Amino acid sequence: MASMFQSLLDRTAKLPATLHQLFSRSPATSAASSAYSHFVSDLEKLRRRMERIQAFLEDAEEREIRERSIMLWLDELRDVAYDCEDVLDEVEYELQWYQLACQEEEHTPSSPEKKRIKRKREVSDSDATPRCPPLHDASFQLQITAKIKDINDRFEEIHRDGLALKLHEDHGQRHSSDSLSDPPLRMPTSCLVDEQAVRGRDHDKRKVMDMLLSDDGRHCKENVGVVSIVGMGGLGKTTLAQVVYNDIQVKNHFPTRMWVCVSDSFDVVRLTKEILQTLTGRSSDQVQGSNNFSSLQERLRQNLQGKRFFLVLDDVWNENQGYWEALWLCLSSGAEGSRVLITTRNEMVSRTSFVSEANMHRLSCLSDQDAWSLFEQRAFSGRNSSNYPELVLIGKKIVQRCKGLPLTVKTLAGLLFCEFSEDRWDDILRSDLWDLAEGKDQILPALKLSYRHLPSPIKLCFVYCAVFPKDYEFKRDQLVKMWMAHGYTIPTATRCMEDVGRGYFDNLLQRSFFQKYYGDYFVMHDLIHDLALSLGKGECCEVVDDKLSSIGRARHLFLKCWEDVTTCLSCGGPTGELLRLRTWYLRWQWRESRDVVEPVENMFGTMKCLRVLYLGGARIRELPDSVGNLKHLRYLAIDIKDCCRLPESLGNIINLQTLQLFNARHMLELPKSIKYLVNLRHLEMCAFSPPSTMSRDVFRLQLQMMPRGIGRLTQLRTLPLFVVGE
C-alpha cells in the first residue's frame, strides 16, 4: 500500500508541470483556462492530503493484523487510491494523445487534412468519426475536476478517521494501550530441543553436519567457515539447527559452542554481548557493564583466541554486509575449523554473510509420511491411532492440507490434542486456517513476519500473486509483465521496468515465497498463497462451486474455464461490481477454447478499468472494435484462431505494453494504427496455442508485411519477426 501511495504522489507532483507545458503551447478558451486552473489547484490539494495520509501508513499496516478498525480503514483507503489512480490514468491517457497529435503534425507537415490523429474515442455503429483529444475541452476538464474533488473529500474523511484511530506518524510508535498488549512476533529461541518429537529430518541433519565437520574449508572467512539453513517460515530451520547443535559428534568436535537468537534486529553490540555471555558463562549484568563496542570486540576476540568454536545465529534477517564484517573481526581469532551456522528465510542473507552455494542447505517440506508421523504423535498423545480408524482418515486429509509444513502440522495437531470427537476433527478439516484462532495467533504471524521484511514495492507484487489459484504453475516473465501492467515495477535511471520486475521476482524466490517447480515454472506453497490472499482483502477472486469467492472488493479475477465466465457474468457483471476489475484472467485449457463474440464484446464495452486481460481460453475469430474502449489496458493476450486481421481501434489502447497473440498462423497483417501504441514493449505472436513459443513456430506465421510507422514503437523489446513487403 505504501509503494502504491508513493507512486500516486509522484504522479500528482509531476502532472501540473506537464499540463502547464501543454497549455502554454496551445491557446485555450477562457472557460478552459479557468477549468484548468481549478484542476491544477485540486491536484495540489490532493497531493497534500495524500502526504498526510501516507505518514500513517506504516503504523496502520503494522496494526491491521490485530485491530479490525484499522483493517477497515485501510480497505477504504485502498478503494479511494484505486479511484485516484483511474482518474490520473485518464488524464495521462489524454495527455499522451495530445503529444501524439503533435508528433503526427511533424510527420505530415504538407497535408492539412492529416494534421490530426484519426482515432475513435467511443467506438460504436453510430459513431465512427474519430475525434481529437479533449484536453482543451472545458466540459472534459470540469468532469475530471469533479472526480478529483470527490476523491479529495474522501481522502479528507479518511485522514480524520485516521486521527480518530490514533494512528501515529512515527514508524513503530504505538499508543500506550496497544504497546502493552502487543505480543512479540516471535518468541526467542534456545539450543534445547526434544529430539524425540522431530520427524523426517535425518537426511537434512546429515547434510548440515557434513558441511560443519568438513575440513575442505569451502569459502571460509579467515579461519571460520559459514553454513546456512534456508527456507520459508515454519519449515523447521531452528529445530534442525537445535538437533545439529546437540549432536554428540558436534559436541566432541567443537569444544566451545554458542547459541544466539538474532531475530529482527541485527544489533552488533547486542550480539557481541550475548556471544560473550554464552562464552564466558557470566551474568548479563557483568557482560553488559561496558557499552563500548571496541572494548567488547577486543574481549570477544581474546576469549575466542585459538579456540575451535561452533556458533549458531538463529533467525537472521540482516542483508547489510558491513554489519557482518564488524562481527567477523571478532570471530576470526578462533582456531581453524571453527564454524558459524545461520538460519534464515532469505538466501541473500546467506550470501552477504559469506556463505558459499555449496554450504547453503535449502530445507524442504516434510514428506506425507513424515508429516503424518508428526501429526499422529501430537494429536493422539501416545494413544494407538489404529484404535481410531475414522479419525485417522480425517487426520490424513488434514495433513494433506498442510502441504508438509511442520508449523501447520503441529498447530492443527495441537488443536486436536486429546480430542476424539469426529465432529471436532471434521470441523478442523473444513475450516479455513485463517478462521481458526490458532491460525491467526501462531501461523499467520510467523508467515507475515516474512512479508513485513519485504521492501515496500515488492509487497504489492507478492499480494497480487493471489490472483492465481493454489498449485497454479506460473512463469517469471509472464508474471513480471502483469506486474508492469499494474504499475508495480517503476523503472530507474539504470534499470528498465522488466529488469526491476525480474529483480523483485528473484527477491521473492530467495525469500522462499516462490518455489521452483520444473523447467521455467514456479509455484507458491498453499500457506504462502493463503497469506497473499488474506493480505489482499478480497481483491483476488475466482469461481468456486459456481459462485464468486469474493465480489464486494474484487479487482482481480481468475477463471479456470469458460463455464466460469458464464457464472461470473451472471453473478456480478457486466453491470455489477465486476466493472471495477483490473485483471481478467481466463486460463487456457487444452481442447476447451470456445468461439465467443457477444460476451467478449460486452466485456470490452463495460469493464473499462482493466489493466490485464488474458483470454487464453476464448477463441476469437474476429476481435470486436469495442476493444478500443479499454484505454487503461496494458497487457492483452488473446487466442485469435482463424482471425486474419485485427481492428484499427486497437490503436486506441496507447497504454498497451504487452500484446500476445496465440494461434496467429492465419494473421495476414497488423492494423495500421499499431504505430500509435508508443508504450508497446512486447509484441508476441505464436502460430499455435500456449505453451507454444515464438522461437519454435515463428516461421509458420503468414504475416505479409509490417505496417508503416512501426518504427515509432521505440519502446519495443520483443518482436517475433519483421516482414518487409514487396
d(CA 723, CA 553): 45
Beta pairing, strands 474-475 & 521-523: antiparallel
The Cα–Cα gap between 270 and 274 comes to 6
Q: Is the CB of residue 680 less than 8 Å from the CB of residue 659? A: yes
Alpha helices in 108-223 (DSSP H): 138-164, 176-179, 202-213
- At 115, the pLDDT band (50, 70, 90 cuts) reads very low
Tell me the C-alpha distance between 288 and 503, whole Å.
Answer: 41
C-alpha cell at 88: 490520473
What is the CB neighbour count within 10 angstroms for residue 59?
Answer: 23
Q: What is the pLDDT of residue 173?
A: 42
Spatial neighbors of 143 by CB under 8 A, at least 6 apart, are: none
Question: Could you tell me the strand order of the sheet in which 521-523 lies?
Answer: 474-475, 521-523, 515-516
- The mean per-residue pLDDT over the stretch 519-538 comes to 88
Q: Is the previous residue joined to 574 through a cis bond, with omega within 30 degrees of 0?
A: yes
When pLDDT is averaged across residues 223-237 and rounded to a whole number, the result is: 91
Q: What average pLDDT does this structure show over 164-192?
A: 60
For residue range 405-448, what is the model confidence (pLDDT) as tens digits? Answer: 998 898 888 888 888 888 889 988 887 766 666 555 667 777 88
Q: Which is more confidently placed, 576 or 572? A: 576
Look at residue 179 in the predicted model and tell me its pLDDT: 36
pLDDT band of residue 369 (cuts 50, 70, 90) is very high
Long-range contacts of 479-482 (CB under 8 A, 24+ apart): 479/505, 480/504, 480/505, 481/635, 481/657, 481/658, 481/682, 482/583, 482/612, 482/635
* Confidence band of 323 (pLDDT split at 50, 70, 90): confident
What per-residue confidence (pLDDT) applies to 157? 93
Q: Which of 127-141, 302-316, 379-393 has the highest mean pLDDT?
A: 302-316
Q: How many CB atoms lie within 10 A of CB 361?
A: 22
* SS3 per-residue string spanning 431-485: CCHHHCHHHHHHHHHHHHHHHHCCCHHHHHHHHHHHHCCCCCCEEHHHHHHHHHH
Q: What pLDDT is recorded for position 498?
A: 96
Question: Which pLDDT score is estimated for 123?
Answer: 39
Assess whether pLDDT exceeds 60 at residue 298.
yes
Residue type, 107: H
d(CA 133, CA 107): 18
Furthest-apart CA pair in the chain: how many Å? 93
Question: Which phi and psi angles does 64 have, rounded to 5°?
Answer: -65, -25
Strand partners, 474: 522
Sign of CA dihedral 505, 506, 509, 515: positive
Q: CA of 423: how far to CAs of 87, 397, 428, 557, in Å?
A: 52, 14, 9, 34
The answer to whether the CB of 83 falls within 8 A of the CB of 140 is no
Evaluate the omega torsion of the peptide bond into residue 707 and state whether it is cis, within 30 degrees of 0.
Answer: no
How far is Cα 466 from Cα 458, in angstroms, rounded to an integer? 14
Per-residue model confidence as pLDDT tens digits over 59-81: 887 777 678 888 889 889 988 99
Model pLDDT, residue 116: 44
Per residue, the 3-state secondary structure of 67-112, as one string, reads CHHHHHHHHHHHHHHHHHHHHHHHHHHHHHHHHHHHHHHHHCCCCH
In the block, cell 492443527 appears at 412
Please enumerate, as own/partner, the contacts of 514-520 that have beta carbons within 8 Å and a separation of 24 or more: 517/473, 520/475, 520/476
Q: Which residues pair with 684 in a beta bridge?
A: 660
List the Cα angle 173/174/175 in 5-degree steps: 135
Contact 631, 676 (CB under 8 A): no
Query: Does the structure show a pLDDT above 60 at 132?
Result: no
C-alpha closest to that of 538 among 89, 74, 161: 74
**379 neighbors 413 (Cβ within 8 angstroms):** yes
Q: Which residues pair with 221 in a beta bridge?
A: 224
State the Cα angle at 616 between 614 and 617, rounded to 5°: 120
**Secondary structure element (H or E) that encloses residue 694, with its range:** helix 694-697
Contact 353, 342 (CB under 8 A): yes
In the chain, the amino acid numbered 117 is: I
Element (H, E) at 125: none
For residue 693, the 8-state DSSP code is -
455 pLDDT higher than 80: yes
Residue type at 149 in one-letter notation: K
Length of the chain: 726
Query: In one letter, which amino acid is 701?
Result: L
CA 525 vs CA 129, 231, 472, 538: distances in Å:
52, 12, 10, 19
What is the three-class DSSP state of 62?
helix
pLDDT tens digits, one per residue of 8-48 = 888 888 887 777 766 665 555 555 566 667 778 888 888 89
The count of other CB atoms within 10 Å of the CB of residue 233 is: 23
What pLDDT score does 180 carry?
Answer: 32
Please name the helix (run of DSSP H) or strand (run of DSSP E) that holds residue 262, with its range, or none. strand 256-263
SS3 557: strand
The 10s digit of each residue's pLDDT in 690-723 is: 655 555 566 566 776 788 888 888 999 988 777 6
Mean pLDDT of 89-105: 81
Query: What is the rounded distance in angstroms from the CA atom of residue 301 to the CA atom of residue 333?
Result: 6
Lowest mean pLDDT among 63-67, 117-121, 512-516, 622-626: 117-121
663-667 LR contacts (CB < 8 Å, sep 24+): 663/619, 663/639, 663/687, 663/688, 663/689, 664/640, 664/701, 665/697, 665/700, 665/701, 665/702, 666/641, 666/642, 666/702, 667/640, 667/643, 667/701, 667/702, 667/703
Mean pLDDT of 111-125: 42
Which cell numbers hold the place of 31? Answer: 472557460
The mean pLDDT value of the chain amounts to: 81
pLDDT at 258 over 90: yes
Q: 676: number of CA atoms within 13 Å, CB side?
A: 26
- 557 φ, ψ (degrees, to nearest 5): -125, 130
CB 674, CB 707: distance < 8 Å: yes
pLDDT at 183: 41
Distance CA 140, CA 134 (A): 7
| Between 626 and 641, residue with greater pLDDT | 626
Tell me the C-alpha to C-alpha distance, in Å, between residue 10 and each of 4, 7, 47, 50, 300.
10, 5, 9, 11, 48
Using alpha carbons, select from 459, 576, 577 the residue that is nearest to residue 507.
459
